[in-house]
Every structure is written in structure tokens, then in C-alpha cells.
Amino acid sequence: MSTSRPTLHSQLAAMIRRKPITVTPESTLREAVLLMSEHRIGSIIVVEPESGRPLGIFTLRDLLHRVAAKHYDLDQMVMSVMSGSGLLMLNWRATVYQAALMMARNGVHHVIVVDATDKLVGIVSQEDIYELQSGGGKAISGAIRGARDMEGLIAAADDIHRLAERTLAEGTAAEALTQLISTLNDHLVVRLIELTKAEFDLPQVPWAWLAFGSEGRFEQTLSTDQDNGLVFAAPGNQAAAVRAALLPFAAEVNRRLDVLGFPLCKGNVMASNPQLCLSLDEWHQRYASWLRSTTPQALLDASIYFDFRPLYGDEALAGELSEWLRKNIPGATLFLRFMAENALRARPPLGIIRDFTFEKSKEFPHTIDLKASGTRLFVDVARILALANGIGETGTPQRLRAAAEKGKIGRDDVAALVDAFYFLQQMRLRQQQQGTPLGLANRVDPDTLNEMDRFVLKESFKQAKKLQNRIRLDYRL
């Protein structure tokens, strides 16, 4: 195992610290309890003897509520009281973040980790994941899980914002901070959907709430609006009826997210928009139309929809959509070329004589937009590299690292690219923390920076230019 400290984007394999303690279905409760006591563990996995496949889990909670409370005979087999139905398992190549979100969605404290043959590898608990979060994350996660109404969620949203500002002031790196913000915000959205869902008579079909844009990339900052949608399973002749039943629910979730501090999207990229509440087949058709599009502006507007992940509901629907894209996009050469042209429309604000160039803006003179002229350049190129090479990651640094693994970027170059991206993210967070007016939230006047920050800012833009040159060569633009 790697000796480096895991992050929320690490594979679950990095979280397995010791060989799991197991029993067979025929083991007695007494044997299971003694093993748990001997190894000082709160749970034990029940596995099939020959294959090593997990069959269930027996926890201290089971001991208290199923055994002690009902006066079970300790010589009974453990399979009689183990929790087997709905056992939550993830492949060891899944991320720590996926495990955290799975626990939040299902209200459980453990996820079973298996290998490619479904053989038990280990177990990851909430406590393991809390250790990766900055101080205060555990308490806020617990408060979100225990919230029973909007008042509780509003308080949690305020706590998230204060925690983010405090950890930023303490010098927390942008990567860890954006992971923290995204994780806690995801938990908040999941709990909001759970509470809102209970108030509606929703159709009995599989559906999933999707996050797009920065939320889809795990790259939320302190200032972010909503970008979401819905995908559901329904035959073509029933799609309209299912959509009509889901839209009021989606509209209420969007409204409540606004109350929690996620402003309504001005571009209407929200699940309450009928054009973004679609069946799986309709999403396929919509993506297919973008792949055939020859209008640069249409593709520019559509780029946000290629950064998505499921937040709540049936993840398999989003998985099918992702798999469809991975199969169909690499062959859509004209589409990729148009996307590359769009990615090159914005240029790093580097001067030939002066260090930086500035937009001719009366409203924001002598400032640089750290998002439009900075992080966006990395986001756009990383997206193209991912789409063209069948890379499933949605986060910008993860896409760049995956592209390096495939030989599309030099392995020696990718670390500098990721560092440059996160430096720009850190600077954006600092601007937002200062409570600057909305229009200035992503802008900085280089003259206000110290000499070191000015130097690193310039070098970061040079990395963006280098990355753009990569696809300029690839697509001969």
C-alpha cells in the first residue's frame, strides 16, 4: 500500500490498513463476539469459506439490538443475526469519496471493499473517512444526517461555510479544501433530497439526481450556484408522464437549495427545467445531438453537461450514461475538434512586454478573471482529454493524471499542471473569502499581490498555455 496520506479521491485500496477479520456463516455468535473483542473491532464480516465472497456483516449494533435485547443463544450461528440484505459493497478501485457518499445516502457506517472477483479485501468505516477531513467535518456530517427539517439544514449550511473559511484562513491547501466543501455540500444535498422526497408521491421508477459543472467535478468554491438535472428509467411512451410527476419535486429541491445558499442558476441548468429532467433514452438522444452539432456556441453551452456524476438515487442510470459517452465520444472526431476550438478561445493573460494583459473593462479595470482566464483553461482541456480517451473521471486534476497514465501528457509535466490549477483555485478561494462584490469574486489585481504570488501566478498561466498547446497540436489548430 502507498505510504502517502490518502485523500477523498484516493482508491479505497489505500484505506485498507490490515487484513479483515472474518467468520463463516456456520460460526457461532460466541466465536464472532470473542474475535471482535480480541481484535477490538466494531464489526466482523461473514464470508463464504471457498470464494471469500462477503455474505453479511455483524456489528456491535447487531449485538445490542438483535442479540442481547432478544436474549439470543450465543451458540447459534452468526448467519441468523447478521445483516446481509442490502450489504453495501464497492470495488477497491472506487474512490474514498464514493464510499463516503454511499454511506450518507444509505445511513450506514461501513462499506465492504472487494476485488475484481468480489473477494473481500477489507472494510472502510465512517471513522476512517472522518480522519481525512479537516477538524469539524465529522460534527457537521453528523448534524446533516440528523437534520429533520430545513432549519437544521440551514444551520448545517452555515457551519459548512464557516468551516471552509476557517480552514482556508489556517492555510489548508486548495485540493483538500475543495474536497471538504464538495463532500459536505453533497451530504447536505442528499439529506435535502431525502426530506423533500418524503413530501411527494413520486413515480415508482428508478431515477437519479445529477450534479453538473463544478459540483460534478468536485471543484466547488465558496461561491457557487446550482447545476443539476434528473435522469429516470421509463419507456418512451411514459417519459412525459414520469417527467410531469418529477418536476414539482425537482422545483422544490431547487427552491430549497437556493435557501441553503446555492443560488438558482441564471442559465436554468436545474432539474426543474423539463429539458434537464429526461429519461435515459432522452439523455442519449440529447448527447447524440451535441455530438452531431456543428455550432461552436451550442457546444460551448453544452460543455457543462459532460462533467456530471450522480448525487442521489439509482447510480446505475448515471453509470449507463457515462458508459454510453465513453463508447461514442472517442469516435466523434469532428465534435472533439469543435470542443478543442472552443477550449482555445480563451487565452492565458500573459503579456509579451508586461507580465500580464488585461481586458478592456470599465467595470473591472486592471484585473484578471481567475476563473474565465485561469482555471477554466485547465478544465476545458482536461475535459477534452478525458472524452477523447475514454477517461471516466470528472475532476480536472484526476482527468489530467489519468491522461498522463495513458501517455497523453508527459508524466513529468502533470504534477506542474495540477499544482498550477490548484494555485489558481486557492487564489479564487482567497478572493471569495474576503467578501468581495459578486463581480470581483473571481478577479484579482496582480499589483495587490506580493512578489512570490505574482511570480507563481504568471507561472500558472504558463502551464495553462502549455496545456492548450497540447491540444492545439493534437487537433492541428
The CATH number for 336-474, chosen from 1.20.120, 2.30.30, 1.20.58, 3.40.720, is: 1.20.120
pLDDT tens per residue, range 265-281: 999 999 999 999 999 99
Predicted confidence at residue 83, as pLDDT, reads: 74
Asked if residue 93 has pLDDT above 90, the reply is no
Strands 89-91 and 110-114: parallel
Q: Which of 6-10, 89-93, 322-326, 361-365 has the lowest mean pLDDT?
A: 6-10
Specify the pTM.
0.81
Asked if residue 207 has pLDDT above 90, the reply is yes
Asked if residue 92 has pLDDT above 80, the reply is yes
Q: Which of 7-16, 213-222, 335-344, 458-467 has the lowest mean pLDDT?
A: 7-16
Query: Binning pLDDT at 50, 70 and 90, where does residue 86 land?
Result: low
Q: What are the boundaries of each domain within the chain?
A: 12-129, 133-199, 207-327, 336-474
Predicted confidence at residue 121, as pLDDT, reads: 92
Average pLDDT over residues 322-335: 93
Predicted confidence at residue 174, as pLDDT, reads: 84
Measured distance CA(386)–CA(405) in Å, rounded:
12
> Distances in Å between the alpha carbon of 427 and those of 256, 322, 369, 422?
30, 32, 11, 8
Predicted confidence at residue 456, as pLDDT, reads: 96
pLDDT tens per residue, range 194-206: 999 999 999 999 9
Asked if residue 219 has pLDDT above 60, the reply is yes
Predicted confidence at residue 67, as pLDDT, reads: 72
pLDDT tens per residue, range 18-39: 888 999 999 998 999 999 989 8
Q: Which residue has the higher pLDDT, 354 or 257?
A: 257
Average pLDDT over residues 101-116: 82
Task: State the average pLDDT for the chain.
Answer: 89
Class of domain 12-129: alpha beta
Query: Binning pLDDT at 50, 70 and 90, where does residue 287 land?
Result: very high
